[in-house]
């Protein structure tokens, strides 16, 4: 058999010494697989390699983002040491027809009700400021029975009801609060410490319960976006507001949640 001699401008080569086969990725995005007995040698070129561009997936529908300053920052990057928030990063992968950021800087969940605009998709990022303001967490029963008793659970019911008044066919993703601590005494020294007898995790647990009751997907920022060891280098301040690395992790988590409802 006549063997081939390859000269290729390479982006990357995935191979292992003595392997039976390998894959070549060219700078035009094409891939080729070879067995090691089919090629005499490979010449590596120093030509400039370019990764193939990936177009965002177009999503027909309007996205309304509700939340705290962590979400609000997406539209105010010029004044802070970040390049883009998690919503812009999501839009780089999932291009919605329209996007409205209705987050409130310093807002608690109760501030969200008046910010709800007509949309097809809603994300709710709340809990951290309610912890800082010691909003009673409440129970799933407060939510189910619409008790209007001022608890986080009861307020969540009002928010969800308002969303479905706006759009009965809305798709909703609940986001647990990102872990945080410090911020000049606004929060305890550790995310797992109680603050006025309330734990941040209590809000996260309740949000998951509401999501399970309503069959909403969850973007679990609390579980997946950094713990006590990582928060200081995933935040641009003490350990509350994410930096670029922190926002990218949040975006990755939210994209996964969106994919669950977009695939239906």
Q: What is the pLDDT of residues 195-212, one digit of tens each?
A: 999 999 999 999 999 999
pLDDT tens-digit profile, the chain (264 residues)? 444 444 343 444 344 444 455 455 444 455 555 555 555 555 554 455 455 557 889 999 999 999 999 999 999 999 999 999 999 999 999 999 999 999 999 999 999 999 999 999 999 999 999 999 999 999 999 999 999 999 999 999 999 999 999 999 999 999 999 999 999 999 999 999 999 999 999 999 999 999 999 999 999 999 999 999 999 999 999 899 999 999 999 999 999 999 999 987
Where exactly are the structural domains of the chain? Answer: 4-44, 57-262
Torsion region of 196: left, alpha or beta (phi above 0 gives left; psi -120 to 50 gives alpha): left
Cβ contacts of residue 91 below 8 Å, gap of 6+? Answer: 56, 99
- Taking only the tens place, the pLDDT of each residue in 73-98 is 999 999 999 999 999 999 999 999 99
Q: Do 156 and 109 meet the contact criterion of CB atoms below 8 Å apart?
A: yes
Task: Say which CATH architecture domain 57-262 belongs to.
Answer: 3-Layer(aba) Sandwich (3.40)
- Specify the pTM: 0.80
| Ordered alpha helix ranges (H), the chain | 69-72, 86-91, 128-132, 140-144, 152-166, 200-214, 221-224, 244-262
Cβ contacts of residue 165 below 8 Å, gap of 6+? Answer: none
Q: Do 130 and 108 meet the contact criterion of CB atoms below 8 Å apart?
A: yes
Print burial letters for 97-116: b (CB count within 10 Å at least 16), e (below 16).
eebbbbbbeebbbbbbeebb
Q: Please give the pLDDT value at position 264.
A: 75
Q: Please give the pLDDT value at position 238.
A: 85
For the record, the structure tokens of 214 come out as: 């309503």
Q: Do 121 and 63 meet the contact criterion of CB atoms below 8 Å apart?
A: yes
Q: Please give the pLDDT value at position 38.
A: 56
Q: Please give the pLDDT value at position 12.
A: 41
């Amino acid at each position: 058999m006549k063997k081939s001699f390859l000269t290729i401008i390479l982006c990357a080569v995935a191979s292992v010494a003595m392997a039976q086969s390998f894959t070549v990725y060219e700078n035009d995005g094409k891939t080729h697989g070879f067995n090691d007995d089919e090629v005499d040698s490979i010449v590596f070129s120093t030509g400039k390699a370019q990764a193939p561009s990936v177009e965002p997936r177009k999503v027909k529908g309007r996205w309304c983002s509700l939340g705290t300053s962590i979400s609000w920052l997406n539209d105010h990057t010029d004044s802070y040491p970040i390049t883009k928030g998690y919503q812009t990063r999501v839009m780089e992968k999932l291009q919605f027809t329209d996007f409205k950021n209705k987050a409130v800087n310093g807002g608690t969940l109760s501030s969200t009700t008046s910010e709800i605009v007509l949309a097809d998709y809603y994300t709710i990022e709340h809990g951290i400021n309610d912890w800082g303001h010691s909003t009673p967490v409440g129970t799933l029963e407060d939510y189910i029975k619409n008790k209007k008793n001022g608890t986080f659970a009861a307020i969540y019911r009002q928010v969800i009801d308002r969303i479905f008044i706006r759009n009965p066919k809305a798709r909703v993703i609940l986001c647990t609060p990102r872990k945080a601590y410090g911020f000049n005494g606004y929060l305890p020294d550790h995310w797992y410490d109680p603050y006025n007898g309330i734990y941040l995790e209590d809000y996260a647990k309740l949000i998951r319960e509401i999501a399970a009751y309503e069959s909403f997907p969850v973007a679990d920022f609390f579980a997946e976006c950094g713990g006590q060891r990582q928060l200081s280098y995933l935040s641009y301040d003490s350990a509350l507001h994410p930096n670029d690395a922190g926002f990218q992790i949040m975006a990755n988590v939210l994209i996964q949640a969106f994919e669950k409802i977009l695939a239906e």
